[in-house]
Chains A and B, each alone.
Chain A
Amino acid sequence: MSESAREKMEFDVLIVGGGPSGLSAAIRLKQLAPSAQICLIEKASEIGAHIVSGAVLEPTALKELFSDWNSRGAPLETPVKKERIMYLLNDRKSIQIPIIDWMMPNMVNEGNYIISLGDFCRWLASEAEALGVEIYPGFAGSDLIIEDNQVMGVLIGDMGLDKDGKPGSNFTPGMELRAKYTIFSEGCRGSLSKKLISHYNLRKKSDPQTYGIGIKELWEIPSDLHFPGYMQHSFGWPLDDNTYGGSWLYHFGKNLVSFGFVLGLDYANPWLSPFGETQRVKMHPALKKHFKGGRRIAYGARALSEGGFQSIPKLSFPGGVLVGDAAGFLNMPKIKGTHTAMKSGMVAAEAIAEALNSAQIEPVNYQKRMQQSWVWEELYSVRNIRPSFAKFGAKLATVYTGIDSMLRGKVPWTFHHRQGDNTKLDPADMSQPVCYPKPDNKLTFDRESSVYLANIDHRDDQPIHLKLKNEAIWKTVNWDVFKSPESRYCPAAVYEVVNADVEPTLQINSQNCVHCKTCDIKDPTQNINWETPEGGSGPNYPGGM
């Protein structure tokens, strides 16, 4: 279909992505400019269906968005009551790290709530709709519309194409959504945000972004073993000292336990499997008892931005802004990004509400306002903590963290992230293969049965949304040097090596993809490109997730 024949729609502000940042931006805009036409699109089949998070919510930004959040029925049912941090020495022993408020302000969770971020987003969406925001789940922003070097909106992709990209019997052409300003709130490693960062060279003055992958399981456990408000984190075993990561485990809601594992994507051993580590850590006595008599009801995975302050790109460009995890506002020592994502969406809304009146092309005040906000101060104060783990290893970094935190980050140095995570893998033959225990299907599982619980829907004959830019590189680099790390790091078993003994070839089971974006980040030569599949495709994470 030719460009000009595409249908067009115009709005004042277009928001791409219905996570906490996009929804908060929408709400704030309507509060400030009630008559503005605001459209929000979300690639998931419904709001919340692609959200994977812990999630412990620090309600700071929420209180600023709605001072009466409580009476509006925000789903914050479980206040944090008790927390523990454990260092796992080996597969049996652990020590509990004391949480000292004045020393480790980032680790204290009093006043926070354990929530399902998906449910929280569904609630935010209902508030936004009540204010008149037009929300369209099931539509993915597939490309940018840039004219005269200004972002004019996005394209939503065609629907009903067959495998070869030809219109099928229920073909529906995509269309242009145009707006005076477009807010990109795609979350970590957004596919359009990635294009914007490169097109406008937004990282000119910042470090590369670094990432982690989080794999999550939702469990339902017997009520007599459920302690709503209990949260624990672990680090140490099963990872070695040079690999960053750990588990979380939160009791919340009605007999629910949110469990998961975060692994820094700067890991070096190509044999490592984030999924395997997630399964293995559950076997530790400090975790195992929490799953007794329970059943696993949902599974998902998502990358998160770990780079922090040093990796924040320039935030605005002609015609739009980056907000939330798309810009990288996650506070890694806290493992929290929802409050900062919400705040950045709100600040962007304030800058855009101003700009709407002044006909400014680039909403430049967003950057300034962010720099004056508590987000900047918060991220600045913890800037050295995550990089210290890469620099010193986990044990020494823990000591460093204690000192740095006591000083609230007021040290005269800043540790930098020099290179992207994709450059960090060692060759396979120089690394120690990792052997993971066989799943017992009660506590530990394989990837196939896990992905089943993500309720994935990718219409079978649609064009493949994961592409190798150069097919030949897979054999010479991914296979010959690293022995196909993607077949291990992908939490959904999308990448499979067939015919390994004779003529190894990569098979891409793209219909299994849970949209975590890890392959787009970790592929050694960035040869894998993740694009949005047909709108509404992907996981359908249920309520509680």
Chain B
Amino acid sequence: MKVLVPVKRVVDSNIKPLVKSDNSGVETDGLKMSMNPFDETAVEEAVRLKEQNIVSEIVAVSIGEAKCQDTLRTAMAMGAYRSILITSDELLEPLSIAKILQKIVEKEQPNLVLMGKQASDDDTNATGQILAGLLGWSQGTFVSKLELTSDKARVHREIDEGVQILDLTLPAVITTDLRLNEPRFASLPNIMKARKKPIETIALSDMDIKTTTRLEMLSVKEASTSREGIILNSVEELVEKLQNEAKVI
């Protein structure tokens, strides 16, 4: 079985990015970039399935500037066999990304697309669903457990009420929750090998896809920091403060 794993290059989740001084977006210049942690979970799951001989080939795909190569190398160091990079400097919306992935699916003919349920930078949580719609495939989203056979996938979905268990017929798009697994560390020899694995590069402009922008970013603001708490010594003090300072009682 062949699996396609889309991976996104995002600001590393340990970095606290700052809002640009003109509020037009987030400053990403010079920040450490990494693979979206949700996608890392997807790669790990694909590699585990390969280790269990259920999956035979893993292809990673990334869309964005040339530097996304680094993200693909990470995926290959973890165990993906080869990669495809679609280069573009545009800021692409989920619909455009899904259209691009649709084209890649048509070309590569995988049985399964395994991808993060969202990206840790914009948190839109839409691409997997749109892709399944465009392809007319089954979809299993927010998956925290996956059992795969040659024609069927049983997925456990994390939902508000608890866990929902679904059986999907393949081909399918499955989006992963962080609870699915704990991604491995790429070992040094595997990183070394990954540097020699092939990356096929395609320019988005050569793909005949309309990437109309439908959303406009108005402004980005820093989340308001919560006010500092104080510890009081008695109930009397609390009542006093509520009456005289907060003036609520």
Q: Are A456 and B14 in contact (CB under 8 A)?
A: yes
Confirm or deny: A234 has a beta carbon within 8 angstroms of a beta carbon on chain B: no
How close is A218's CB to chain B, nearest CB, in angstroms?
11
Q: Are A156 and B188 in contact (CB under 8 A)?
A: yes
Distance, CA A46 to CA B14, complexed state (A): 13
Residues of A that sit less than 8 Å from B by CB: 7, 9, 45-46, 49, 119, 134, 136, 139, 156, 159-160, 168-170, 172, 175, 177, 220, 295, 297, 452-453, 455-457, 540, 542-544
* Closest residue on chain A to residue B17 by CB atoms: A542
* Closest residue on chain B to residue A41 by CB atoms: B188
List of B residues within 8 angstroms of A170 by Cβ: 182-185
Q: Are B32 and A136 in contact (CB under 8 A)?
A: no
* Closest residue on chain B to residue A223 by CB atoms: B21
* Closest residue on chain A to residue B228 by CB atoms: A441
Among A9, A156, A172, A542, the residue within 8 A (CB) of B32 is: A542
Confirm or deny: B170 has a beta carbon within 8 angstroms of a beta carbon on chain A: no
* Closest residue on chain A to residue B187 by CB atoms: A172
List of A residues within 8 angstroms of B30 by Cβ: 119, 542-544
How close is A361's CB to chain B, nearest CB, in angstroms?
26
List of B residues within 8 angstroms of A134 by Cβ: 192
- B interface, by DSSP: helix, strand, loop or mixed? loop
List of A residues within 8 angstroms of B184 by Cβ: 160, 170, 172
- 6 A-B residue pairings within 8 Å (CB atoms): A9-B188, A45-B12, A170-B182, A175-B187, A220-B21, A456-B14
Instruction: Give the one of B184, B188, B189 with max A CB within 10 A.
Output: B188
Distance, CA A170 to CA B187, complexed state (A): 11
Q: Are B29 and A7 in contact (CB under 8 A)?
A: no
Distance, CA A453 to CA B16, complexed state (A): 7
Instruction: Give the one of A160, A177, A295, A540 with max B CB within 10 A.
Output: A540
How close is A78's CB to chain B, nearest CB, in angstroms?
15
Q: Are A160 and B185 in contact (CB under 8 A)?
A: yes
List of A residues within 8 angstroms of B14 by Cβ: 455-457, 540
* Closest residue on chain B to residue A541 by CB atoms: B32
Q: Are A542 and B31 in contact (CB under 8 A)?
A: yes
Q: Are A297 and B18 in contact (CB under 8 A)?
A: yes
* Closest residue on chain A to residue B190 by CB atoms: A172
List of B residues within 8 angstroms of A544 by Cβ: 30
Confirm or deny: B15 has a beta carbon within 8 angstroms of a beta carbon on chain A: yes
List of A residues within 8 angstroms of B21 by Cβ: 220
How close is B96's CB to chain A, nearest CB, in angstroms?
28
Given A297-B18, A540-B15, A542-B15; A45-B32 close (CB under 8 Å): yes
Distance, CA A72 to CA B192, complexed state (A): 27
Distance, CA A523 to CA B185, complexed state (A): 34
List of B residues within 8 angstroms of A542 by Cβ: 15, 30-32
Among B12, B29, B185, the residue within 8 A (CB) of A540 is: B12
List of A residues within 8 angstroms of B182 by Cβ: 168-170
Distance, CA A170 to CA B79, complexed state (A): 14
List of A residues within 8 angstroms of B18 by Cβ: 295, 297
Distance, CA A46 to CA B32, complexed state (A): 8
List of B residues within 8 angstroms of A119 by Cβ: 30
Confirm or deny: B191 has a beta carbon within 8 angstroms of a beta carbon on chain A: yes
Residues of B that sit less than 8 Å from A by CB: 12, 14-16, 18, 21, 29-32, 182-185, 187-189, 191-192
Distance, CA A159 to CA B189, complexed state (A): 14
* Closest residue on chain A to residue B29 by CB atoms: A543
Distance, CA A542 to CA B188, complexed state (A): 24
List of B residues within 8 angstroms of A156 by Cβ: 188
* Closest residue on chain B to residue A156 by CB atoms: B188
Q: Are A9 and B16 in contact (CB under 8 A)?
A: no
Distance, CA A9 to CA B187, complexed state (A): 12
Q: Are B31 and A543 in contact (CB under 8 A)?
A: yes
Distance, CA A139 to CA B77, complexed state (A): 14
Q: Are A455 and B16 in contact (CB under 8 A)?
A: yes
Distance, CA A540 to CA B185, complexed state (A): 18
List of B residues within 8 angstroms of A160 by Cβ: 184-185
List of A residues within 8 angstroms of B183 by Cβ: 170
Among A139, A159, A220, A455, the residue within 8 A (CB) of B15 is: A455
* Closest residue on chain B to residue A254 by CB atoms: B29
How close is A450's CB to chain B, nearest CB, in angstroms?
12
How close is A535's CB to chain B, nearest CB, in angstroms?
8
A134-B192, A452-B16 given; name 7 further pairs at CB < 8 Å: A7-B189, A139-B188, A160-B185, A175-B189, A456-B14, A540-B15, A542-B30
How close is B79's CB to chain A, nearest CB, in angstroms?
13
List of A residues within 8 angstroms of B189 by Cβ: 7, 9, 175
Distance, CA A134 to CA B193, complexed state (A): 12
How close is A173's CB to chain B, nearest CB, in angstroms?
8
List of A residues within 8 angstroms of B31 by Cβ: 542-543
Q: Are B187 and A540 in contact (CB under 8 A)?
A: no
Distance, CA A9 to CA B192, complexed state (A): 11
List of B residues within 8 angstroms of A295 by Cβ: 18
List of B residues within 8 angstroms of A457 by Cβ: 12, 14
Distance, CA A544 to CA B29, complexed state (A): 9
List of B residues within 8 angstroms of A297 by Cβ: 18
Distance, CA A177 to CA B30, complexed state (A): 30
Given A134-B192, A544-B30; A172-B16 close (CB under 8 Å): no
List of A residues within 8 angstroms of B191 by Cβ: 136
List of A residues within 8 angstroms of B192 by Cβ: 134
How close is B23's CB to chain A, nearest CB, in angstroms?
13
Q: Are A49 and B187 in contact (CB under 8 A)?
A: no
Distance, CA A287 to CA B114, complexed state (A): 54
Distance, CA A139 to CA B192, complexed state (A): 13
Q: Are B185 and A159 in contact (CB under 8 A)?
A: yes
How close is B241's CB to chain A, nearest CB, in angstroms?
21
Distance, CA A457 to CA B30, complexed state (A): 17
Distance, CA A46 to CA B188, complexed state (A): 14
List of A residues within 8 angstroms of B188 by Cβ: 9, 136, 139, 156, 175, 177
How close is B210's CB to chain A, nearest CB, in angstroms?
35
Distance, CA A297 to CA B16, complexed state (A): 10
Distance, CA A119 to CA B12, complexed state (A): 17
Distance, CA A405 to CA B58, complexed state (A): 66
Distance, CA A542 to CA B30, complexed state (A): 6
Distance, CA A452 to CA B29, complexed state (A): 19
Distance, CA A134 to CA B192, complexed state (A): 8
Q: Are B32 and A49 in contact (CB under 8 A)?
A: yes
Distance, CA A297 to CA B26, complexed state (A): 13
